[in-house]
Structure 1
Amino acid sequence: MLKDKKIILGVTASIAAYKAATLVRLLVKEGAEVKVIMTPYAKEFISPVTMATLSKNTVLSDFFKHDDGEWNSHVDLGIWADVLLVAPTTANTMAKMAHGICDNLLLTTYLSAKCPVVHAPAMDLDMFKHPATLRNMDILRSYGDRFIEPSSGELASGLYGKGRMEDPEKIVEKLKEFFASKKKD
């Protein structure tokens, strides 16, 4: 169901970014073409080299290459993709998306995307249940964005609760279900 699908994977600055490596590997194994956009701080959590190797594509993070001036067109990326999957999605990134702030390549691509957007949130339980986060999720849903709810379990803080990014295997299954439902339409 994911064969030949064009997927942009947005990776944000969360400890759950390590799961993005498995996610990319599974998407490529399913036959998808994956382009990874990492926020600047996401690179503190997982290496662009890892993501480029697994996706078989250069990782995008900056608007342009500083050495030759070539630019990464957020408009072209937004047209190219069949889906924009943001996994993990942090509270910070959701807030910026909900309010149209576009201070990095992922956010400008989001605002330019012609494709469906799917979020897999990851954050500590108190951040997840904060009224501002819940309101931002409602705003994003009103734009047509979809969410793969986080699971409960032990969090990086050592606390236990809802906020863990869903397992990569389940995210892939949810994407398959999404595309299967689109075929029926």
Structure 2
Amino acid sequence: MLANRRILLGVSGSIAAYKSAALVRLLIKAEAEVQVILTPSASAFVTPLTLATLSKRPVLQGFLQDEKSGVWHNHVDLGLWADVLLVAPASANTLGAMANGLCPNLLAAVYLSARCPVLVAPAMDLDMYQHPATQRNLALLRQDGVHVLDSPAGELASGLVGPGRMLEPEQLLAAVAGLFPNS
């Protein structure tokens, strides 16, 4: 289905990050090459070891690979390598940085360098998702050509019910595969 497609998976800080392990597994099963980028807060929710094991690649977490030698993860090369950039989960913080061209971490820098289709799967609590600032950021991203995968309503980690849930891994796989209908 996605044989030899190069997928950059950005994982940001949200409880929904636990779903990223299942997503990586599905992408690998679909024969995609997967490179995971974790934001600094994402590793509180899912470990790099888990995602590296499933993706069969080291997980990238920052600009520098080795501070002593100065070896770094080139955001431009990563942006050019990818056939698609999927940010799942996309936290309010990450959406805000992307929408406003801010570059606080490797994931945001890769987004600003990417020439491929970009998909974001928002995941946050109800009030954060419905906040006018978040809705403005989502609108800006849509204007910039980003595929925003709307958040379905359901029970959230806080116990509230409403939009803010991240799509399920199977739905995310289908969204990525939909970009390559002749694969």
TM-score, normalization: structure 1?
0.95
Q: Which one has a larger percent helix, Structure 1 or Structure 2?
A: 1
The gaps in structure 1 that reach 5 residues or longer are: none
2:129 is matched with 128
The amino acid that maps onto 2:5 is K
Measure, in 1, the Cα distance between the counterparts of 2:175 and 2:79.
Answer: 21
Task: Please report the RMSD computed on the Cα atoms of aligned residues, expressed in angstroms.
Answer: 1.2
Give the unaligned 5+ runs of structure 2. none
- Contact in 1 for aligned 2:141/2:148 (Cα 8 Å): no
Checking the alignment, whether the CA contact within 8 Å between 2:156 and 2:165 is kept in structure 1 is: yes
After the TM superposition, which of the residue ranges 146-155 and 97-106 deviates more from structure 2? 146-155
4+ runs of 1 displaced by more than 6 Å? none
User: What is the aligned partner in structure 2 of residue 42 from structure 1?
Assistant: 42
Within 5 Å, which residues of 2 pair with 1:96-175? 96-175=97-176
The alpha carbon displacement at 1:68 in A equals 3.1
Whichever residue aligns with residue 158 of structure 1, its letter is G
TM, length-normalised to structure 2? 0.96
Once the two structures are TM-superposed, the CA of residue 66 in structure 1 deviates from its matched residue by 2.1
1:7 Cα deviation from its structure 2 partner: 0.3
1:53 — aligned with what? 53
Deviates more, 1:84-93 or 1:126-135: 126-135
Instruction: Tell me, in whole angstroms, the C-alpha distance in 1 between the residues paired with 2:110 and 2:60.
Output: 11
Encode CA deviations 1:53-81: one digit per residue, 9 max, x unaligned.
00000000110122432110000000000
Q: How many residues align?
A: 182
Structure 1 residue aligned with 2:85 = 84
User: How far apart are residue 28 of structure 1 and its match?
Assistant: 0.4
The AA in structure 2 aligned to 1:135 is: R
Match of 2:5 in 1: 5
State the alpha-carbon separation in 2 of the partners of residues 2 and 147 from structure 1: 20
How far did 1:162 drift? 0.8
CA deviation map 1:94-130 (0-9, x unaligned): 1111111101000000000011100011011111111
Task: Give the equivalent residue in structure 2 for 1:26.
Answer: 26
